[in-house]
Every structure is written in structure tokens, then in C-alpha cells.
Amino acid sequence: MHRCIELAKLGAGKVAPNPMVGAVLVYDGKIIGEGYHQQYGGPHAEVNAIKGTADDLIRQSTLYVSLEPCAHYGKTPPCADLIIEKKIPKVVIGCRDPFIEVNGKGIEKLKAAGVEVELGILEHECKELIKRFFTFHIQHRPYIILKWAETADGFIGNTDHSRLLISNQYTNRLVHQWRSEEAAILVGTNTALYDNPELMVRLAEGNNPVRLVVDMDLSLPPQLKLFDKQSKTIVFNTVKHEEQENLLYYQITGDVSIVHQIANALYYLKLQSVLVEGGAKLLQSFIDEGYWDEARVITNTALKSKEGIKSPQLVHHLLAKEENILTDTIRYYQSQTISKE
């Protein structure tokens, strides 16, 4: 199952909204086939794991898979049917699939066909692997990651909004990798106006996330890079709801929590995760409402600003991990507020 998880991670940023899944086929204590879900719409992990293996060996093997095999027709036929057709005698499953079209149906179908099923092997690790998928289907909202860079004395930007370069070039590459792994990326009005970001994946391989910006009064100038229509962009505003070429104006109201409205909109739009990159006010809104799962805080330990825009202040959090990239220290926090079903 550890190998299943290793394989599944190779699909990061390529399979959403499907989950990352890995599978291995074991005969006489040895792995004779392995695979993972490589691309959305492509063959599932189970298909890739048994491909090219002789049927007589498959019928004597055990299939390990990190997530319950699907039992419905989606982009591909049900994997449970394939397992039954190939007469695989035993299937070991990491965790149950929370998607309503599966959610135990794959296990039931296998058992009904006489397949021996073992469930819950490295269950926590398998759930952690696809936490975005679980959050989306169980809590009916996107998985929310907060990210910012700050100086050693706790400032996120200059008071006059002039550009303040905090993280180094190696950390910047990592940030672009993070972007490629999430469905969407969100910034506030001031960040869009003063930083004029592209919010694209340029320094890493992978897909561009859907760009999101809060512009309540539609005051941002159309010349900004966010509006170049090179990548799908959603503008949360109180003025209009309409769609143009690669540009969606999504109307919300000013009298209800913006954070909750954005989360609800992303669930409706089937975007399973969002990376909130700023600014400080927007990030603090998510924190104050306890509406976040992870925070990734980059601190340049060699840079002091002495004045400027103060960094957001986390509450109800747990430090999960810390790493150093030259002068940058990256701390990964987990929220202790939101339910982690």
C-alpha cells in the first residue's frame, strides 16, 4: 500500500477533479504490475496496474489499490467490473471512496462476485493523499490553503503597496509547483491592482489553476494581466453575473460573508481546492472565520522591513512541518478549527 501511495502522487495536478490513486498487482509476494491514474479522463490505476500481465497470473494475484474501485460509468468503465472480469481473487483497499456514485458500491459489487476484500490498510495515509477529494465530497466545499511570504519581523508588504520581494528564486519555483497542484488560486482587489500578477504556472510543470479575484465594485482596470483571457478567470463582484470568453463575472452580495460565498461558488463550479495568495485582508478574513485547512507561511529570515503591512495572524493552528530553502523558512500549519472528517 505504501507503493500505491507513492505511485498515486505521480498524478498530482493532472487528474483533478478525480482523486489520485495508485495500484499494484502482487503474485507470490512480488509486484508483477503497477499503475496510477495519470490523466483526467484516462485509464484508472487498476487498469494500468494489470495491463500487459497474463490472465493466468492475474487470476492468482492480489490487487492493492489506495482507493475503493469505482462501480459506475464515468469517463471510463467501472474498475470493479474489470476486477471481476479478470477473476482477481483478492483486493486490498486503502480507504472507501466518499463520492456518492461509489461510496461502498464498489466494495459491495466485488464481495457479491466472490472477491475477497480487505479494507482500511494505511487508511489515514490514503485519506491524507486525497484530502482535497474527501473535503469536497464530505464537507461540500473546496480544500482551502492559505499562503503568504513575510519578512523576519512580520510584514507582508510595503504601506504604499510598492513591490516588496521577499522569497528567493528557489522558493518561488516551489510556489509555482503549489499552484499547479490546486484547482484555483485567489487574490484580493489590492493584490490584483498593485502587484498585477499573472497567477500562472511558469516556473514549474503542470496546469494553470483557475484564477479568482475579488473585485466587489468592478473597479479593477481591464488592462491587468488577470484579464488577458489566457487562462480561465472568475471575478467575484456585486454588480453582474455574466460569462465572456474565459472570463466569468460571478455575482455575490455584500451583506453576507464573502468567504462563505466564495467557498459555496467553488463547490458549485466543481473546483476542489483553492490556494489563497493574498492580500493580508483577504487572508485574515479566511482565518477569522475559521475557514481554512492549511497555511503555508514563507519567512525570509534575513529580511527586515521595520514597517509596512502586517502579516495575517493565525489562530487555532498546529505546526505540521518546517523546511528551509536558503534564507527562507517555510512553515506548514494545519487548522484546528474546521472538522477533518
Contact 314, 280 (CB under 8 A): no
Strands, sheet with 62-67, edge to edge from the N-terminal-most edge strand: 30-36, 22-27, 62-67, 90-95, 116-119
Give one DSSP letter per residue of 192-261, joined into a string. Answer: IIII-------SSSSPPPEEEEE-TT--S-TTSGGGSSSS-EEEEESS--EEETTEEEEE--SSS-HHHH
Instruction: Write out the three cell numbers for 158.
Output: 510595503
Contact 187, 213 (CB under 8 A): yes
**Residue of 46, 68, 150, 277 marked active site:** 46
Distance CA 307, CA 45 (A): 52
For residue 6, indicate whether it is catalytic: no
Instruction: Write out the three cell numbers for 190.
Output: 489590492
Distance CA 23, CA 33 (A): 8
Q: Is 229 exposed, middle or buried (0-12, 13-18, 19+ CB in 10 A)?
A: exposed
Distance CA 42, CA 6 (A): 19
Report the DSSP pairing between strands 116-119 and 242-244: unpaired
Catalytic residues: 46
